[in-house]
Amino acid sequence: MMARAPKSGFEAPRGRRATVLSRTPQPSRDRFGRFTEWIARAMGTPTFLLILTLFCVAWILWNTVGPDNLRFDDAALGFTALTLMLSLQASYAAPLILLAQNRQDDRDRVQIEQDRQRAERNLADTEYLAREVVALRMALTDMQDEVLSRDVLRQELKTLLERLDERDQDRHVDDAPTS
């Protein structure tokens, strides 16, 4: 198998160009945790209960009705081997289920913390927007007051200009030479 040359330029992230092809994938450290979750999920299904029930029924039937020379668990002793197998299964199932539950609790804690941080950001954003809306309302109120005073000022200026125009006309009439 011929190894390709390492990627260069913009083909690989900076600092990893020489090791892109030489790295081997590392096994997941969390493989056992995922396995416990899979077991817990599988043991909680109706399919698992049905298979376990069918297994127990087949075991009991084989050891009661089957040929004497092929029986391996005596019914007179209360199916000791079956009891031991079911106890062993239960003794492993409980800790596996607890491990899976602990992993779920950890994920829930992280999710709750992320939700809390998101809620804090949303609250801060909402408070900021509320302050901005109040500031805009205040600015609009001030602006409306200014607009009204500007209109009044314009009217006053217009009145003064009309008076000045009248005065100018009166002066022109008075200053006009009489012939």
Whole-number Cα distances in Å, 105 to 8, 45, 95, 99, 101: 44, 21, 15, 10, 6
Give the CA-trace dihedral at 120, 126, 127, 130, to 10 degrees.
180
177 torsion bin: left (phi>0), alpha (psi -120 to 50), beta (else): beta
The pLDDT assigned to 149 comes to 73
CA–CA gap between residue 86 and residue 64 (Å, rounded): 18
Q: Which of 28-32, 96-100, 103-107, 120-124 has the lowest mean pLDDT?
A: 28-32
**pLDDT (tens digit per residue) in 154-171:** 888 899 889 888 888 887
Is residue 100 exposed (0-12), middle (13-18) or buried (19+ Cβ within 10 Å)?
buried
Q: What is the pLDDT of residues 112-122, one digit of tens each?
A: 999 999 999 99
Q: Residue 1's pLDDT is what?
A: 45
pLDDT at 29: 67
With bands split at pLDDT 50, 70 and 90, how would you rate the model's confidence at 141? confident
